[in-house]
């Protein structure tokens, strides 16, 4: 009986605690409802303050962009060859004038290409006469006749004109005239919101009054360090209904949440009986999660072990290749030792020649490995792509680790010559062939094809593996991106090397079945490009002769 009383007393205490907790949660929810009702009265004020803060931040971003542009205009007007352009273009020597004009025109076009918000650059002499004009035609930087721009430009509409003394000196050094497209500043500082923004080139612009459906904020834009001080006004217009509706929707969401909370608290009194079972299930789930984490860790270790095993198999293959000439050298040395001991010196030179041949073979193998693994740059020379591909293909095929892969090599009859680096080009071919071999199971197939496409050498490496996932194709050449747990640097390095050779490398899945295809195209050197035409001309002469 006493035990029963104690148990009932314990249950009553637990019930009291549950009721107290329920009342506390009810009070918290009531307070939340009250705060929501009060906050609705300040929705419009909060939205206006937020709109003003966003507009202020965007105005400061425009000022920072203008300061950056001002620095670039000053650098452009005071750096070579612009600082001496007027003197060079006035030189009586036409060759000096031509080279000077080309330098300035190139700098102007590059500047317009990098700065889409700049619409025109004009270099004028001390008298204001235009000498070089670079502008835009359908968005592309072009050179225009200076005679069409005799009068200096003025600021109007979305155009802001400024004049910058060349070399920071007197007017006779010349003037750099710049035209800034103000509307192009908005997509830079507020991408996606430029339709809501407007820049007015007035310090006290007339701001349209807010309506029932819109809210307006205005912030001044100032930069007094331009040659023509900038005193603009940034105006932003937002849909007031949309701003307030978002807050109203949020309040409705919280009201729904509170109602559901009431229901949940009511159900909590009933579901408390099942708490022990839930705790037990949670413990089991946690144990299962720990087990799954351990399994994943073991899988990662297995993959790492497999990669190390692949490296070991490659090293064993290289050791086997070097061991063959070393055994021959040992045999020649044994024969040489016996001849010297018996006093027979007639055949010693032949034996030493055999030793030297074995050393040369071992040295050739090590040089081949070093050449294929050295990523360093060297001066570009004439390189036979055909020789590099064949040497690399033979090197990989001789590896015992890839005996299960059927490898095919198809080479063009032409000797394709490019201007490049044989070592780095061999590294590209090696990486592509190794990836094709390692990405297949037993009985795989790798096809390497080299041909000529117009004025380019094209290398195609295809396999019969699982292919490349569609979502991974756009990122396959990014550094540290991999679909099989590697470092993700091999294909990125291939892309860099091919780009350094003015070529391009692409990846795709085969259209005739499973597998991937990597294609490399590199422009041929001028001598190689002209070779087929020369050969055709000589053949025509032979026939006519």
Q: Does the pTM exceed 0.85?
A: no
Cβ 163 vs Cβ 177: under 8 Å: yes
Q: Render pLDDT for 382-430 as a digit per residue (tens, 0 to 9).
A: 999 999 999 889 878 877 778 888 999 999 988 899 998 887 888 889 8
Cβ 523 vs Cβ 418: under 8 Å: yes
CA distance 250 to 234: 30
pLDDT at 302 over 70: no
pLDDT at 142 over 50: yes
Cβ 186 vs Cβ 194: under 8 Å: yes
Cβ 158 vs Cβ 181: under 8 Å: yes
Tokens, residue 377:
């740059």
Domain boundaries, the chain: 2-45+253-274, 53-242, 375-532
> Is 53-242's fold the same as 375-532's?
no
CA-wise closest residue to 179 among 124, 221, 126:
124
Tokens, residue 542:
């032979």
What is the torsion angle, in degrees rounded to the nearest 10, for the CA atoms of residue 222, residue 224, residue 226 and residue 230? 40
Q: Is 494 exposed, middle or buried (0-12, 13-18, 19+ CB in 10 A)?
A: buried
pLDDT computed for residue 279 by the predictor: 66
CA distance 136 to 184: 13
For the domain covering 53-242, report its CATH number.
Answer: 3.30.450
Residue with tokens 């087990």: 291
Tokens, residue 460:
């195609």
CATH fold label, 375-532: Heat Shock Protein 90 (3.30.565)
CA distance 263 to 446: 65
Cβ 420 vs Cβ 383: under 8 Å: yes
Residue with tokens 């095993």: 309
DSSP state of 120: E
Highest mean pLDDT among 219-223, 237-241, 327-331, 512-516: 219-223
């Amino acid at each position: 009986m006493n035990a029963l009383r104690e148990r009932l007393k314990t249950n009553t205490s637990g019930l009291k605690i549950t009721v107290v907790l329920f009342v506390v949660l009810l009070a918290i929810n009531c307070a939340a409802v009250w705060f929501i009702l009060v906050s609705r009265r300040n929705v419009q004020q909060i939205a206006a303050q937020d709109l003003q803060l966003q507009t202020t931040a965007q105005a400061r971003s425009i000022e920072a962009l203008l300061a950056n542009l001002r620095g670039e205009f000053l650098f452009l007007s005071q750096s070579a060859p612009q600082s001496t352009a007027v003197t060079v273009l006035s030189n009586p020597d036409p060759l000096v004038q031509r080279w000077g004009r080309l330098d300035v025109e190139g700098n102007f076009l590059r500047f317009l290409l990098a700065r889409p918000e700049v619409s025109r650059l004009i270099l004028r002499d001390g008298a204001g006469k235009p000498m070089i004009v670079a502008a835009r035609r359908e968005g592309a930087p072009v050179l225009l006749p200076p005679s069409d721009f005799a009068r200096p430009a003025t600021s109007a509409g979305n155009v802001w004109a400024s004049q910058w003394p060349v070399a920071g000196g007197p007017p006779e050094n010349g003037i750099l005239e710049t035209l800034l497209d103000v509307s192009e500043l908005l997509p830079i500082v507020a991408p996606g919101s430029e339709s809501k923004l407007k820049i007015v080139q007035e310090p006290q612009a007339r701001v349209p009054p807010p309506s029932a459906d819109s809210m307006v904020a205005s912030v001044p834009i100032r930069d007094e360090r331009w040659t023509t001080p900038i005193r603009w006004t940034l105006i932003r217009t937002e849909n007031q209904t949309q701003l307030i509706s978002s807050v109203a929707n949020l309040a409705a969401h919280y009201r729904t949440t509170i109602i559901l909370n009431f229901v949940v608290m009511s159900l909590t009194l009933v579901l408390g009986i099942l708490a022990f079972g839930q705790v037990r299930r949670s413990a089991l789930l946690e144990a299962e999660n720990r087990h799954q984490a351990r399994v994943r860790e073991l899988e990662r270790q297995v993959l790492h072990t497999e990669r190390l095993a692949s490296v070991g198999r490659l090293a064993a293959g290289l050791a086997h290749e070097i061991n063959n000439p070393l055994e021959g050298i040992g045999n020649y040395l044994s024969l040489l030792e016996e001849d010297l001991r018996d006093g027979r010196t007639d055949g010693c030179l032949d034996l030493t020649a055999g030793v030297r041949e074995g050393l040369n073979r071992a040295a050739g193998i090590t040089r081949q490995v070093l050449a294929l693994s050295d990523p360093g740059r060297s001066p570009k020379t004439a390189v036979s792509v055909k020789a590099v591909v064949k040497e690399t293909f033979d090197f990989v095929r001789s590896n015992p680790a890839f005996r299960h892969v059927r490898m095919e090599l198809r080479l063009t009859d032409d000797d394709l010559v490019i201007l490049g680096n044989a070592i780095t080009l061999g590294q590209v071919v090696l990486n592509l062939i190794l990836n094709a071999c390692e990405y297949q199971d037993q009985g795989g197939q790798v096809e390497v094809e080299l041909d000529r496409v117009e004025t380019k050498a094209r290398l195609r490496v295809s396999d019969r593996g699982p292919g490349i996932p569609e979502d991974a194709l756009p990122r396959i050449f990014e550094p540290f991106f991999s679909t099989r747990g590697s470092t993700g640097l091999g294909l990125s390095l291939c892309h860099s090397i091919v780009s350094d050779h003015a070529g391009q490398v692409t990846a795709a899945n085969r259209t005739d079945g499973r597998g991937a295809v990597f294609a490399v195209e590199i422009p041929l050197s001028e001598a190689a490009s002209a070779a087929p035409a020369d050969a055709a001309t000589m053949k025509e002469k032979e026939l006519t002769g």
